Structure 1
């Protein structure tokens, strides 16, 4: 008789019988135990089989591959920006970029197009999707702007900004006159591979060490923008005559006798728009918005046009300007300077006292601006701060007052339809002759800014609606609804302040969000709520389809009013003028369809890059300013709470981080639902909106980081513009 190896179950049952006296047949408990053991074993075997099947299916399942652009940061990690196919990848509406750990970067440089494998959800560090780079599809970085360093026999370029692309080795034969500390442009000769540094050659010296403005010009070059125009572009601009040609009868409407004015910043030179306001016999307003006819000088397909398309926009980093067009055009020939004849495109709108636009006309014109007004002066005139202005300039005074009244009607109408008004503070940075930041303050925004804003919104909407019904190729300014994931984040954030957001991605209307902003107006956490809501919004972009503007609560919208500094405005000016002289042929329509698609796509990309330039420059100068104030004490407000600490914003808009480990009076824990840091022993709570006193302990220009610590003080005394601690005397 063959002996079979006893199973573990049989052995366990025999042991159980022995323990129960060996009376297997008569033991009810033994039988029950055997039955339970068998059922347990069967269940375990089934579970193991199921797990094996799942593992096998997982092995057979193809990894999800994504294609995008990598953005690399100082500590080595990065994020992949995906422009397309996001809905297929993330059905929950997650709109965040994909995280890539440093070990998974595979020698990718900032800006490279990569193919990456999406990691399984259980390997993510949190809720953000994660991936590992499989291969580099395209090396998009061909040159790098940064600082040239010499260390012994070695030379290298450290790329500008907090993003880390890795130092680039420069051999002695490729320095081309660069010296230690110079700001340079470096061409990549060999890309990083297997942990080895990239190698390059110096092709341009942006600025010598310590040269004023060199740091900001380097930021501009680092983002791919050029300061200088190609020779053929400059030559074309220089060949344009400043004097406008004689106007043929019926070619343009002559508005040179009309009271038109420009209202701009004190240091502005590129005046795109002029306005006029009259009262009609029926009591309605006639608003005229007159925009510089840049397309008359920048003809389609010329070197000027190609360069304008390439740049897409003018950039305004701190105290500098990188224009879309050469200065001869932007600051002179096209600019609506006072008492100069200028070609324009005009939109006349009849607006009732209820704020309704009932009639409009779009046509080519010629104007002569009667006055170059400044925002601050107009605000003072309206507020009555300029004594006897009404007596000295009665006609101009009446025009300004009519503008004020009309703008108020348009603002009320906009509020009624649910337009969102983000009233976030902006910084004004003062730069000295050496290029250093010597003062940072909150920029003033008066009623004059609101007047021009309302008039430009009205013109942009009117033009967009007209040409949408004309069914001609066009470039629209679109702003879609917030996605599901970001809206849910906003809901959780607002809940911490006791605000209930009653909307989802399908039902959300801008008016719901506008009401919340109105409710928090004047409260300590107003700016935090506005900032959180702004981050929830989709990015406004240019498109050839009229998809509406969520933030403005408009069905039709475009950018028409700034052709000197925005390419979409310039190209639609051409289309408007062409359409005014007859509907385009079918062949021309096909041609225009291609051109507006290219213009919309390129302008959207360049706008994002320009915003990054301006933010980087502002961040650099704010950090530079605070380097001079390390050790000093300021009053501020908690603006946001994170698991690693809290950000404190000073009255001048500068923000710094208070790290959680620096809070020495207690052990603090992060309460996300309450947006607070709460002391374990004392119950002391730091919430958004709390007033605090902080000391500057670190400011680093390279990383753009500012660190504060909380200072406990009873009394502050301000002397000679500086704040210092005064301890209370013991009683």
Structure 2
């Protein structure tokens, strides 16, 4: 929100704080404030903001006055220990709700909260005064049976109360069954919530039940409706002569896909040639034309929008589109004709796109390559691999050259690259984790990343300047307050940042990450830097991507697994065919805000489910290593203890009660845990040996103690 708006907000509020002020309707306030017709929408926004902040309230007669109590509306976030927080839109810090003031609110309720006066800089507390609505309708948990009734212990730790189940509504569940429960009553301070079992997922000891429980818990749609499957079968026809009509024939172009070994939905192919005469590379990014098979507002399209994205769990993929399309006709499989949308770019030796074309095409992929094979060729000079793909080796070398230039350009402008190790969890046939290892990026993964980023930026810039309705991937600048808090913290380690008073430039954060590389505090500062930034989302306005330091950015390259890409392909094709008339423009202007909101929401849902499954499998893995010792790095710290991350990315906690040699206290300013008698200090980034005390798969916790 800009400074002018905030100043006008202060003026409006000070008017209502005047002892001579009498409650007025908006029309009367406008007259008093000398608001002209054009400024009326801003006045309405100011009044809405003040209401949301709990500073003003509306009387029964529709008049505005200063609130007698600071009442706001927000989303309640529960905690397993009984307390909670209320997230209020537009407010930077959540309101803490002590257990005695929760007043029956449960996780994800929309509530009214009375904000209590602040206490010496501590987090503001509040009291839930009214539950407006319940978002949570169904919940997953473990069934336990008594003689005449049952109850369910929820998997979601933020839902802190057991659910009473009348025996006649238990669907025959027995002890240890994972069940999906529909809530029929939300209970009160004195009465438990009540529900009925609507699905028995499986027994906790059955392979796969644990992951299915997460799937149902996040309301991820598993099965496709029959109508959708039938439609997918009908449209998944081989590419015909009629399909090729009006398309640019690129089948003579050498195109490869480069993906992981187990990938089946191949939605991007690349081609690179060096033009010696003109001194630039011809880079082609060829993306599956999913819109040819998924027509707008068809059963397939509505189901794809509902899902929003494919979800990648350790033992399965829940696809956005049925396998007939995602792994079949839409997948750019080797040696078969496929319909595509190609972004053909000419890139000079400075890495600048000097010209580009976006065309409907027909392609035929020459080779299905893997990241491992390409890395062997380029990094290891593996003779066997180079012999096997000898006709492609020159192209891979050109790819490596071009990608390096593109990466250097992004770095120069300030693009931020967080180098967190992702984990790869390997399961046996029973679904048990047998190995966890960091999944590091290699030269091949970087090449594909660089080319996809360039295509995404090129397409976004093209459509921004055409001033057509579009869906962008945006990442807002961090709040200056958060960056200043980060600056104050890193000063403890001798680091600083420049020019952060108004709005930080991404290059400052990039420089910080470069300075801390390979230092003991790298993990800590990287995480805190990431937390200081906002979450990327889909929007209809092109406001830029802070993390990439890009003015224009969209998601164009993955329409098999992401709905926003599919949506913009539809717009691009209508534009290429000259069909984007006034009526169609108005249509997209109407639907795109809803698409942006839905796909941002489903993306967060998928991320949460993927993280939860990873965490659960890591805990299960450590259950078989109780008593063993490992070396790790202190990666986080609070008043309860500190977290230690092992080389395989598993993280557990050393609780203060398990630091046996002294009484330890936490210094919030320096992120240190110090012993009162021994003077011993534990710091962020410090290497320690730990012993595994316990691992609780249900609670998703791993407990360490300091081990020799």
Structure 1 spans left out of the alignment, 5+ residues:
1-56, 87-94, 714-731
Does 2:120 match 1:128? no
Matched, 1:668 2:664: yes
Is the Cα–Cα contact under 8 Å of residues 538 and 597 in structure 2 kept in the other structure?
A: yes
Report what 2:487 is aligned to: 491
Shift of 1:661: 3.3
Q: Match for residue 64 of structure 1?
A: 70
For 1:157-210, what per-residue CA distance to the aligned partner results, in whole angstroms no more than 9, with x for missing partners? Answer: 222232225222221221223332222211122221342122222222223442
| Offset of residue 448 of structure 1 | 0.8
Distance 1:340 1:63 in 2: 68
Q: Report the RMSD for the aligned CA atoms in angstroms.
A: 1.9
- Structure 2 residue 684 is the aligned partner of structure 1 residue 688: yes
Worse-matched range after superposition: 524-533 or 474-483:
524-533
Aligned to 1:629: 625
Instruction: Check the 8 A contact 1:180/1:209 in 2, yes or no.
Output: no
Q: How high is the TM-score relative to the length of structure 1?
A: 0.85
Q: Which moved more, 1:541-550 or 1:579-588?
A: 579-588
Which structure 2 residue ranges, 5 or more long, are not aligned?
1-55, 57-64
Alignment check: 8 A CA contact 1:161 1:703 kept: no
Determine if contact 1:496/1:675 at 8 Å carries over to the other structure. no
Aligned to 1:230: 225
Local SS of the residue matching 1:496: helix
**1:97 corresponds to:** 94
Deviation larger for 399-408 or 199-208:
199-208
Distance 1:482 1:85 in 2: 14
Quick check: 2:143–2:177 contact (8 Å CA) kept in 1? yes
1:279 alignment partner in structure 2: 274
- 1:72–1:164 contact (8 Å) kept in structure 2: yes
Q: 1:116 aligns to what SS in structure 2? A: strand
Matched, 1:256 2:245: no
2:267 touches 2:557 (CA, 8 Å); kept in 1? yes
> Paired residue for 2:503, among 492, 502, 507?
507
Q: What is the number of residues matched between the two proteins?
A: 644
2:138 pairs, out of 138, 143, 160, with 143
For normalisation by structure 2, the TM-score amounts to 0.88
Is residue 550 from structure 1 mapped to residue 556 from structure 2 by the alignment?
Answer: no
Q: 1:388 offset after TM fit, Å?
A: 4.2
User: Does the CA-based 8 Å contact 2:477-2:503 persist in structure 1?
Assistant: no
1:191–1:161: structure 2 CA closer, same or farther, 3 Å change rule?
Answer: closer
* Map of 1:576 onto structure 2: 572
**Structure-2 residue corresponding to 1:427:** 423
Contact 2:236 2:293 in 1 (8 A): no
* Partners of 2:244 and 2:362 within 8 A in 1: no
Q: Which of 680, 690, 696 matches 1:700?
A: 696
1:33 aligned residue = none
1:383 to 375, 379, 382: 379
| 1:447 correspondence with 2:453 | no
Tell me the CA shift for residue 644 of structure 1: 2.4
Alpha carbons of 1:589 and 1:518: their partners in 2 closer, same or farther (altered >3 Å)? same
Change (3 A) 1:215 1:388: closer
1:310 Cα shift?
Answer: 1.0
Indicate the residue corresponding to 1:75 in structure 2: 81
543-552 or 522-531: bigger deviation: 522-531
Q: 1:244 aligns with which of 235, 239, 242?
A: 239
**CA distance in structure 2 between the aligned counterparts of 1:260 and 1:207, rounded to whole angstroms:** 45
1:703 alignment partner, SS class:
coil
Partner of 1:190: 185
CA deviation vs aligned residue, 1:327-368 (integer Å, no higher than 9, x gap): 111111111111121111000111111111111100111111
Q: Deviations over 1:417-441 (max 9, x none)?
A: 0100100111111111111222211
Q: Is 1:326 the counterpart of 2:332 in the alignment? A: no
Larger radius of gyration: 1
Q: Distance in 2 between matches of 1:455 and 1:154?
A: 59
Aligned-residue offset at 1:584: 2.0
* Structure 2 equivalent of residue 47 of structure 1: none
Question: Does the residue aligned with 2:318 lie in a helix, a strand or coil?
Answer: coil
SS of structure 1 residue aligned to 2:544: coil
The match for 2:647 is 651
Q: Which residue of 2 aligns with 1:46?
A: none
Deviation at 1:505?
5.5
Provide the rounded CA distance (Å) in 2 between the counterparts of 1:611 and 1:107.
29
Asked whether the equivalents of residues 236 and 324 of structure 2 are also in contact (C-alpha less than 8 Å), the reply is no
CA distance in 1, matches of 2:321, 2:388: 38
Shift of 1:109: 2.1
Aligned pair partner of 1:267 in 262, 266, 276? 262
Q: 1:678 to 1:508 in 2, by over 3 A?
A: same
Residue deviations 1:58-106 (CA, integer Å, cap 9, x gap): x985222222222212111222233x343xxxxxxxx233322222222
Contact 1:429 1:440 in 2 (8 A): yes
Is 1:481 the counterpart of 2:481? The answer is no
Q: Is the 8 A contact 1:639 1:688 kept in 2?
A: yes
| CA positional deviation for 1:487 | 1.2
Query: How far 1:566 sits from its partner (Å)?
Result: 0.8
